[in-house]
Amino acid sequence: MHDSIIVTGGAGFIGSNFVCQWIDGGGSQVINLDKLTYAGNPGNLAELDGNDRHLFVRGDICDRAVVKELFSNYRPRAVVHFAAESHVDRSILGPEEFIQTNVFGTFTLLEEALSYCRTLDASEQDRFRFLHVSTDEVYGSLGSGNPAFSEQTPYSPNSPYSASKAGSDHLVRAYHHTYGLKTLTTNCSNNYGPFQFPEKLIPLIISNALAGKPLPIYGDGQNVRDWLFVVDHCEAIRVVLEKGRPGETYNIGGNNEKTNLQVVETVCSLLDELRPNPAAGSYRSLITFVKDRPGHDRRYAIDAGKIAQELAWHPRETFETGMRKAVEWYLANQAWTQQILSGDYKHWIEKQYGSTPRQRAKL
């Protein structure tokens, strides 16, 4: 077994932040397996161009042959599994891809991880880790007076996305209990920060505001989410990977419960300060209430006491410091957003990698 790790979905929002942080922090070689769906963007990894500790492989986690080859060629000490269809609204419009990637893809990875582990000696098997990155959405929706989600909260997923993630969490659990695979599961709240695909709330609001377009808020804007700066999430994953107890799950959150309206107003205030537009007035004037998301969960809140007590992880950013960093990043990187919105980067991917998901950059 080598010191390298396989990361899946490492060209997406959280995965690319994780890979860059891992390599910046002196981490071992990363084999980055990503299908480059609409949400995957090799540009997120531009700072690693030419770095031989990062090996990008374009491929599908559902493709057993590719996954098998990666395990046998690179003999990693861990898998950190981000790859997923991640957008609730897309899962409502078309759930099939969510079942395929989130459930069947996770199953494929588990099967191949197990088969690889069986080739390892006992001490290597003991050292191997399969870290599954999941979401707080598997716990369902809270009322305003309910306690925050703990690791004991029963699963109650409400959208095709959260149901598919719940399915994958159960498979991971089963592979630990049945086969002894050394798994770890993290369930995290809403992330924000650099490289988030611009159809998710915060980057969407920033790009619409800068373009003078309406800022759509679903329903009455009183749905509550707990927000965590993506860099803090990535650090929590590293801590769980190194110190978490196999078979356990860890909730990760930012202690920042906010209504969607509060989030959008915070973005507007920061933009009013950092990119004022006196002729148009405050960006708040663009706020528009629109039709609600079907089955929209009312409130998520995370009790992150277990990871704090057992692994001494705490978020570094407050909502105020993290949101300022995020808005500053989007202002400084408008070309990144524009490239996605214009479709340019998709054309580049097709030229670079071809249009079939099995085509690989390197293997």
**Is residue 105 involved in binding ligand NAD (CB under 6 A)?**
yes
Q: Which of 71, 197, 283, 300 binds ligand NAD (CB under 6 A)?
A: 197
* Helix (H) or strand (E) segment spanning residue 290: strand 287-290
Binding partner of residue 218 among ligand NAD, ligand DAU, none, CB under 5 to 8 Å per kind? ligand DAU
Q: Which of 37, 108, 135, 168 binds ligand DAU (CB under 6 A)?
A: 135
Which of positions 65-94 make contact with ligand NAD (CB under 6 A)? 82-86
**Is residue 117 involved in binding ligand DAU (CB under 6 A)?**
no
Q: How far apart are CA 44 and CA 98, in angstroms?
A: 23
Q: How far apart are CA 115 and CA 131, in angstroms?
A: 16
Provide φ and ψ at 302, rounded to 5°. Answer: -115, 130
Region binding ligand DAU by CB under 6 A among candidate stretches 36-44, 216-224, 319-327, 352-360 = 216-224
Binding partner of residue 223 among ligand DAU, ligand NAD, none, CB under 5 to 8 Å per kind? ligand DAU
**Is residue 164 involved in binding ligand NAD (CB under 6 A)?**
no
What tokens does 115 get? 């088969």
Q: Which of 38, 218, 329, 348 binds ligand DAU (CB under 6 A)?
A: 218
Q: Which of 106, 183, 190, 337 binds ligand NAD (CB under 6 A)?
A: 190
**Is residue 217 involved in binding ligand DAU (CB under 6 A)?**
yes
Q: Which of 5, 6, 7, 14 binds ligand NAD (CB under 6 A)?
A: 14
Beta bridge partners of 250: 186
Is 136 catalytic? The answer is yes
Q: How far apart are CA 228 and CA 231, in angstroms?
A: 8
Work out the end-to-end distance of the chain between its first and last CA atoms, rounded to an integer number of angstroms: 18
Q: State the catalytic residue, choosing from 74, 139, 161, 175.
A: 161
What is each CA distance from 293 to 89, 137, 263, 267, in whole angstroms? 7, 15, 17, 21
| Residue 114 CA to its chain's centroid (Å) | 24
Least distance in angstroms from the C-beta of 125 to ligand DAU = 31
Q: How far apart are CA 152 and CA 182, in angstroms?
A: 20
Q: How far apart are CA 56 and CA 34, in angstroms?
A: 8
Residues that bind ligand DAU (CB under 6 A): 86-88, 135-137, 189-190, 200-201, 204, 216-218, 223, 225, 260, 293, 300
Active site residues: 136-137, 161
